[in-house]
Structure 1
Amino acid sequence: MALAGCGEGGGRPGFLKGGTDGEEATLDSGGARGGRIVERDIEAPEVFEASENGLWDGRPSLGGVWVAHPEVREPERVIIRNETNGQFVIGALFKRERETPGPRLQVSSDAAAALDMLAGQPVPLSVVALRREEVDGDPDAVPAPDASAGAASATASDVENTETGTLAPAGQVDAAPLAPAVPDPRPEPAPAASPVPTPAPVETAQRAASPLSRPYIQIGIFSVEENAENTATAMRQDGMVPTVKRQSSSGKTFWRVLVGPAQSASEIDALLKKIKANGFTDAYAVTD
């Protein structure tokens, strides 16, 4: 299996399909909605920005959507725009180790497919690093009711009928007079036992216990879900535990394939060695 990314180019295994220009996002990236904190990507040109020609040499490559540039210091997540047709895609940015004649931006086959680039034809691209920021959740979410106010007095939409023990719907409070409360001679039931707390998922416990700041290895970012799932299957068949994360940014959906969490530096080194032996030479450690 030939190498990918910053090396000599490479062969695409049979399980990888041709890319598309991405799909419209239907979920926020990495967060819950309804007044809770969610994460979103913002452009960070101070980290990396390049506006110059990019080239796909026509060879298939592993690792999903990525570009490589000689001035990169460490891998980043980026937004890649084709300035001639307006197409864009979310992908990874790597350091280009080998200088060759032509444009400095090297483009993977999946990125070229998503951007509608033809083999061997330079295209003006804009590549900008992305950073995550935390923001408030959906501003249109209905606020939660005030529990203290509800406990203090009954309202027209929440009145208890002492005769039937049911709640009268709004607009029907005056339908029948309330009967006086009659003491119940039966003893009060014993309080229910405290529920047994649900144990945390194994992955959460492992992640919390990991002493590493970057316990996961990102194998690739894919604009085609089937490619991500097939890559995860290949890792699983080689004895690893992959995770496919569906995320979105700037209106585009993408899928990240991760392996981990590792519990030690030696374990993450062994995982990296095994992943790179499968041809994913641009895999690198990430936080999550």
Structure 2
Amino acid sequence: MGHYQTMTRAWRIAFLLGATATLTACEDGQGFDFLKKKEAGEVAAVETEAELIEGSAETIEREVEAPDVFQASEDGLWDGRPSLGGVWVAYPGVKDPERVVIRNLANNKTVIGALFRRERDNPGPKLQLSSDAAQTLGLIAGQPTKMSVVALRTESVPVEKPAISTLSGSESLPAPDAIEAQPLDPIAKAKAALDKSTAAPAPKPVAAPVPKATEVAAAPARKSSSSLAKPFIQIGIFSVKENADNTATSLRGIGILPAVKQGSSQGKKFWRVVVGPSGSSSERATLLKKVKGLGFNDAYFVTN
């Protein structure tokens, strides 16, 4: 009987030693590998998602020079007469109106304007400039000046998003600041609370203000949908906003509602005056005839 008790006690001691060794191995990080694999998989999934987000990019539109569409480097002339339509230049053989950048190579001044076909074949330089273009570029009336005219085109440029950083499993967060423990006196705290409630009266409820009804209804949005590829008519391009506003005012005087749209190219601001959109070809033709009757003979159809 004594031998049996001795053997039982030995087996219990061996079992306890084995269990202790197993727990020690887990605490040292040598056990439960399936938990480590799961954590590694979660970190990999987060990193993959971050890489996908970083790889995505937005696009913006900007105007760039397109010399293959139109380019001319030769003498330009302003005849000294005032002209309508803002900033423009005319050149023989132009098929369609274009938006161009005009440079005065003598003083390096630039301006954004419109390019039209020159109707009259007068003697002298082929490039004929408007009065607004001449004023902005510093041209002297009747004096030929070396000019450069290049067409502009709109292109989409990708803009990369900022990288999103993620915390990996190896990085550790900073330790929190130590919290100083102070003894709490329940009797003193209760007395202070009673004194505070007696000294400060309870605030009276304040009724929330009732919003006033809107007196003026918002104006309905202007309809912009049209089946035409070019439903708008561009009156002119201006380098000075005041000139664009004055042109828009003259159009409103005869019942035409224009819009002044600001743009920029190569750091230069410009303002376009457009009217529309027209719902049909006949409506657009009638509007163009009315505009040209005011003297804006260089008005033409545009997309927007």
TM class, shorter-chain normalised?
Answer: 0.5 to 0.7
* TM-score of the aligned structures, taking structure 2 as reference length: 0.62
Structure 1 distance, partners of 2:133, 2:252, is 25
Q: Which amino acid aligns with 1:250?
A: Q
Task: Tell me by how many angstroms 1:36 deviates.
Answer: 3.9
Structure 1 distance, partners of 2:93, 2:121, is 11
In structure 2, which of residues 67, 88, 101 is the aligned counterpart of residue 45 of structure 1? 67
Q: Which amino acid aligns with 1:109?
A: S
Q: Which runs of 4+ in 1 moved over 2 A?
A: 170-176
Q: Which amino acid aligns with 1:272?
A: L
Change (3 A) 1:88 1:175: farther
Aligned with 2:121: secondary structure? coil
* TM-score of the aligned structures, taking structure 1 as reference length: 0.66
Change (3 A) 1:98 1:202: same
Aligned with 2:269: secondary structure? strand
Structure 1 distance, partners of 2:60, 2:153, is 14
Aligned to 2:256: 240
RMSD: 2.5
More helix by share: 2
Q: Which amino acid aligns with 1:128?
A: V
Aligned: 1:89 with 2:121: no
Q: Which amino acid aligns with 2:151?
A: A
Change (3 A) 1:257 1:172: farther
Task: Tell me by how many angstroms 1:278 deviates.
Answer: 0.9
Aligned to 2:214: none
Aligned with 1:61: secondary structure? coil
Task: Tell me by how many angstroms 1:202 deviates.
Answer: 2.7
Aligned with 1:233: secondary structure? helix
Task: Tell me by how many angstroms 1:259 deviates.
Answer: 0.3
Aligned: 1:266 with 2:282: yes
Aligned to 1:207: 224
Structure 1 distance, partners of 2:261, 2:87, is 15
Aligned to 1:163: none
Task: Tell me by how many angstroms 1:76 deviates.
Answer: 0.4
Task: Tell me by how many angstroms 1:207 deviates.
Answer: 2.3
Aligned to 1:279: 295
1:123-147 CA-partner distances (Å, limit 9, x unpaired): 010101111111124x5x656x79x
Aligned with 1:281: secondary structure? coil
The alignment-based identity, stated in percent, is 58
- Unpaired runs of 5+ residues, structure 1, are 1-34, 150-155, 157-169, 177-200
Task: Tell me by how many angstroms 1:37 deviates.
Answer: 2.6
Aligned to 2:120: 98
Aligned: 1:125 with 2:141: no
- Unpaired runs of 5+ residues, structure 2, are 1-56, 167-172, 181-219
Task: Tell me by how many angstroms 1:174 deviates.
Answer: 8.7
Which of structures 1 and 2 has the larger relative contact order (alpha carbons within 8 angstroms, sep 6+)?
A: 1
Aligned with 1:227: secondary structure? helix
Change (3 A) 1:237 1:50: same
1:218-267 CA-partner distances (Å, limit 9, x unpaired): 00000000010111111122212211111100110000011011100011
